[in-house]
């Protein structure tokens, strides 16, 4: 009974302008503008590539299980700060090494959220500002090598300067050996 009471509304929407039409016009207009400028196409392509590579590396590194320990021990923090001669290790091409010596924090070079180990080898001393500024971006191998090379100049003699994202710990590599 009640089925017949429903008004036929199938034809009512046919003539209405769909929002997707307007959206499509805007998109094609923007595309037309962009494609008319080769340098803009090249720039967008490079930006897209950088983004894709960054996301790809974050995904790859994010697959590593996170270190169950989030923060360095007090002893390890001291080792990291001693190795940095108690000065921020942030380095920029323009300004060189940061001069901050107060409020230093022991930070993960390879972010903990991306599978970086909570270990002295993956630690660096950063001032509050540069620690805040640092994102969860995964550093490249050449950046780790450059940090290690810079450390040679300011670390106490005999202290290892290499940066290792996920150092093998003796407890992890030892297996039960037959007696
Ligand atoms: Zn700094």
Is 38 in the same domain as 88?
no
Nearest to 125 by CA among 96, 153, 92, 151: 151
- How many domains, the chain? 2
* Token pair of 21 as six digits: 């039409």
For residue 64, pLDDT beyond 50: yes
Is residue 84 a part of any domain in this protein? Answer: yes
> Which of 62, 89, 115 is the endpoint of a domain?
62
Angle between helices 19-35 and 38-62 (to 10 degrees): 110
Please check whether residue 7 lies inside any domain of the structure. Answer: no
- The answer to whether position 159 is within a domain reads yes
Residue 69 lies in a domain: no
Which residue range is the domain that position 157 belongs to?
74-166
Cα 69 to Cα 64, 96, 108, 116: the distances in Å are: 14, 32, 12, 11
pLDDT class of 173 with cuts at 50, 70, 90: very low
- Both 54 and 116 in one domain: the answer is no
What secondary structure does DSSP assign to 5-44, as a single string?
A: GS---TTTTTTSPPHHHHHHHHHHHHHHHHHT-HHHHHHH
Inter-residue contact 74 to 81 (CB < 8 Å): no
Task: Output the average pLDDT for the chain.
Answer: 86
Last residue of a domain, one of 33, 62, 91: 62
Q: Which 8-state DSSP code applies to residue 88?
A: -
Gap from CA of 46 to ligand 1 centroid (Å) = 30
Structure tokens at 163: 């940066």
Quote the CA–CA distance of 110 and 163 in Å, as a whole number: 9
Q: Is residue 111 part of a domain?
A: yes
pLDDT greater at residue 81 or residue 29: 81
Distance 175 CA to ligand 1 centre (A): 41
Asked if residue 162 has pLDDT above 70, the reply is yes
Task: Determine the distance separating the centroid of ligand 1 and the alpha carbon of 174, expressed in angstroms.
Answer: 38
The confidence score (pLDDT) of residue 15 equals 56
Q: Judge if 83 and 106 occupy the same domain.
A: yes
What spacing in Å lies between the alpha carbon of 94 and ligand 1's midpoint?
14
Question: Are 90 and 157 within one domain?
Answer: yes
Least confident window among 27-31, 60-64, 77-81, 101-105 = 60-64
pLDDT tens for 119-156 read 999 999 999 999 999 878 899 999 999 999 999 999 99
Output DSSP code: residue 97.
E
* Distances, alpha carbon 49 to alpha carbons 14, 40, 111, in Å: 42, 14, 22
**Proportion of the chain above pLDDT 70, given as a percent:** 84
Higher pLDDT, 21 or 45: 45
Question: Within this chain, do residues 81 and 148 fall inside the same structural domain, yes or no?
Answer: yes
Same domain? 102 vs 162: yes
DSSP state of 125: E
Give yes or no for residue 57 having a pLDDT over 90.
Answer: no
- The phi and psi torsions of 108 (rounded to 5 degrees) equal -80, 125
Do 80 and 131 reside in the same domain of the chain? yes
Quote the ligand 1 centre to 88 CA distance (angstroms).
5
pLDDT at residue number 10: 53
**55 and 79 share one domain:** no
Question: What pLDDT does residue 7 have?
Answer: 57
Query: So what's the pLDDT on residue 174?
Result: 45
Decide if pLDDT at 91 tops 90. yes
Cβ 110 vs Cβ 138: under 8 Å: yes
Is 42 part of a structural domain of the chain? Answer: yes
Do 52 and 110 lie in one domain? The reply is: no
Contact 167, 119 (CB under 8 A): yes
Strand 123-126 relative to strand 91-92: parallel, antiparallel, unpaired? Answer: unpaired
Greater model confidence, 60 or 132: 132
Residue 109 and residue 48 share a domain:
no
Considering the domain boundaries, does residue 173 fall inside one?
no
């Amino acid at each position: 009974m009640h089925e017949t009471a429903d008004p036929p509304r199938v034809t009512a929407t046919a003539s209405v302008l769909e929002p997707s039409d307007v959206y499509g016009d805007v998109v094609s207009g923007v595309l037309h503008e962009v494609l008319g400028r080769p340098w803009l196409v090249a720039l967008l392509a490079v930006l897209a590539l950088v983004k894709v590579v960054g996301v790809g590396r974050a995904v790859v590194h994010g697959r590593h299980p996170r270190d169950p320990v989030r923060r360095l021990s007090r002893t390890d923090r001291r080792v990291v700060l001693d190795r940095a001669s108690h000065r921020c290790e942030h380095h920029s091409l323009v300004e060189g090494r940061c001069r901050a010596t107060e409020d230093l924090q022991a930070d993960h070079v390879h972010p903990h959220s991306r599978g970086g180990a909570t270990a002295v080898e993956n630690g660096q001393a950063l001032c509050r500002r540069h620690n805040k500024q640092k994102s969860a971006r995964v550093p490249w191998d050449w950046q780790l090598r450059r940090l290690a090379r810079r450390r040679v100049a300011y670390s106490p003699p005999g202290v290892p300067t290499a940066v290792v994202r996920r150092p093998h710990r003796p407890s992890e590599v030892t297996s039960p050996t037959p007696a």
